[in-house]
Amino acid sequence: MADNLSDTLKKLKITAVDRTDDSLEGCLDCLLQALAQNNMETSEKIQGSGILQLFASLLVPQSSCTAKVANIIAEIAKNEFMRIPCVDAGLISPLVQLLNSKDQEVLLQTGRALGNICYDSQSSKEQFASTNIAEELVKLFKKQIDHDKREMVFEVLAPLAENDAIKLQLVEAGLVECLLEIVQQKVDSDKEEDIAELKTASDLMVLLLLGDESMQKLFEGGKGNVFQRVLSWIPSNNHQLQLAGALAIANFARNDGNCIHMVDNGIVEKLMDLLDRHVEDGNVTVQHAALSALRNLAIPVINKAKMLSAGVTEAVLKFLKSEMPPVQFKLLGTLRMLIDAQAEAAEQLGKNVKLVERLVEWCEAKDHAGVMGESNRLLSALIRHSKSKDVIKTIVQSGGIKHLVTMATSEHVIMQNEALVALALIAALELGTAEKDLESAKLVQILHTLLADERSAPEIKYNSMVLICALMGSVASALLKELEAWNPWARGSISLDVAESLHKEVQDLAFLDVVSKLRSHENKSVAQQASLTEQRLAVES
């Protein structure tokens, strides 16, 4: 076969120049046979022969060989290593032009070739963005009545629509209107192919909304026809449309302006109604999508109180028993967003024993890093935003302290910082209750390591020293002022516990040596806190 293939490639070079269709067709048939027998090896030989560049000149509408050439390109582009060479050989532009062909076989093979070339290949997608492929594909799509032909166009559109520039081009070319029409036509059908087409159309619609420009264009200030139509999918009885509608809202909710508009116009209530329909034996993907949308909507500060008043917390907590990590992850993220700077809500949630016990359980979900991380962050957030002794007691009693100490060693600086601030509040407000747990979790040794490690970020060093002072019974005055400012009627009543065992650990580990070196730290805040901490340690030694 190898000799025959080499001969065929040589012959093809000659016949491609002479344009003798009979001889050319025979060569193309031989290549297709060789590809069918061993696609990868044949593709490598085609690339090595330099024949790819000739294919561009063979992709002409009038030739009887065009469909076979496009078929060969589609076959070789199944191999990842051939996609960039196809782009470099200049095949995109002539293939795009062939989308105007009236020959159905040419259209089919051209669609396959374009789809395979751009599959999982970002350089090629950028090249497509500089052509008129979006407009041509939408024109072609509008002409198609046959399901198989539309499916072929879908297969080209989906990978192309991953590129943000092409997303916008497809929106401007009118693809969204086509997709909405398909949804309307197929929504009540129980035919398998119609159900599949409904899914493809609604999924593609959601994909188009992932681009910032295309999303904003379709939002149209919340008054756009597309936005209103997508909104009507949420109360639908069709799970696919419920899913696509919730995902679309999550994508529209990617900037504060959109989020504020949607919350003010009743989107939250629609999402809560949708969640209510999926509490018992519900569709996990719909649950995940609806929670994603609520999480995004809760990001703007102005929305938090409104969403809390609407009962979002209660709606979300219904899924606390879920055993599905994707749902758990979004549930945790939604609650964390809702309580940000919302002291009353944070205290109410932080005293919810069932919630806290579930968080502690999920903090040990080592198979699901996202759930484990979000559980830790929510535990910390409950303390940081409530500044409540009752919340701290609930977390201590539920066994959550050790997880906050472990969180202080996270590879993510933001998580380390959140843990250290929460631990400082614990030390300031309820050290006596948490002392044993802090000691068994080796908090003092961890703080020593963080301060001694040159790789620790400045804010980690700073907050570690604040925590050391708190453990010694002397929280920095700024921290006390903050606590009293938040709780003015308790001014003067906040007492600081001195935990003797932790106090002794600090002295035994020679923190003075480590802290004194930080007085010359390049970060002024760290250097200043080092001086304060050194003074405190010197007094206690």
In the predicted model, what is the mean pLDDT of residues 229-248?
Answer: 93
Say if residue 479's pLDDT is above 70: no
Higher-pLDDT residue of 219 and 473 is 219
Residues 6+ apart with CB under 8 A from 355: 317, 320, 349
The candidate with the shortest Cα–Cα distance to 518, out of 534, 541, 537, is 534
Q: What pLDDT score was predicted for residue 319? A: 94
425 touches 434 (CB < 8 A): no
Question: Which residue is associated with the tokens 């398998």?
Answer: 192
Total number of domains in the chain: 1
User: 299 in helix, strand or coil?
Assistant: coil
Buried b (16+ CB within 10 A) or exposed e, 402-413: bbbbbbbebeee
Q: Give the span between the Cα atoms of 390 and 326, in whole angstroms.
A: 30
Distance of CA 92 to the CA centre of its chain: 31
In a domain, 121, yes or no: yes
Q: Supply the DSSP symbol for 231.
A: H
Q: What pLDDT score was predicted for residue 28? A: 85
- The burial class, CB within 10 Å (0-12 / 13-18 / 19+), for 484 is middle
Amino acid present at 96: V
High-pLDDT (> 70) share of the chain, %: 91
Q: What pLDDT score was predicted for residue 21? A: 62
High-pLDDT (> 90) share of the chain, %: 45
Higher-pLDDT residue of 476 and 37 is 37
Strands (E), 162-247: none
In the predicted model, what is the mean pLDDT of residues 199-214?
Answer: 91
pLDDT (tens digit per residue) in 295-316: 999 999 999 999 999 999 999 9
Q: What pLDDT score was predicted for residue 26? A: 84
Say if residue 120's pLDDT is above 80: no
In a domain, 125, yes or no: yes
In a domain, 192, yes or no: no
In a domain, 16, yes or no: yes
In a domain, 123, yes or no: yes
In a domain, 75, yes or no: yes
Distance of CA 473 to the CA centre of its chain: 42
User: 523 in helix, strand or coil?
Assistant: coil
The whole-model pTM stands at 0.81
SS percent in the chain: helix, strand, coil, step 5:
75, 0, 25
Say if residue 80's pLDDT is above 90: no
Q: Give the span between the Cα atoms of 231 and 234, in whole angstroms.
A: 6
Can you say whether the dihedral through the CA atoms of 302, 306, 311, 312 is positive or negative? negative
Say if residue 488's pLDDT is above 60: no
Q: What pLDDT score was predicted for residue 495? A: 45
Domain of residue 154, residue span: 1-173
In a domain, 105, yes or no: yes
Tokens of 411: 């590879």
pLDDT band at 260 (very low <50, low <70, confident <90, very high): very high
In the predicted model, what is the mean pLDDT of residues 154-179?
Answer: 86
pLDDT (tens digit per residue) in 512-539: 888 888 888 989 999 999 999 888 888 7
Q: What pLDDT score was predicted for residue 20? A: 62
Q: Determine the straight-line distance between the first and last CA of the chain, rounded to whole angstroms.
A: 86
416 touches 464 (CB < 8 A): no
Tokens of 202: 């609604």
In a domain, 384, yes or no: no
What CATH number is given to the structural domain containing 112? Answer: 1.25.10.10
Most confident of 64-68, 222-226, 406-410, 494-498: 406-410
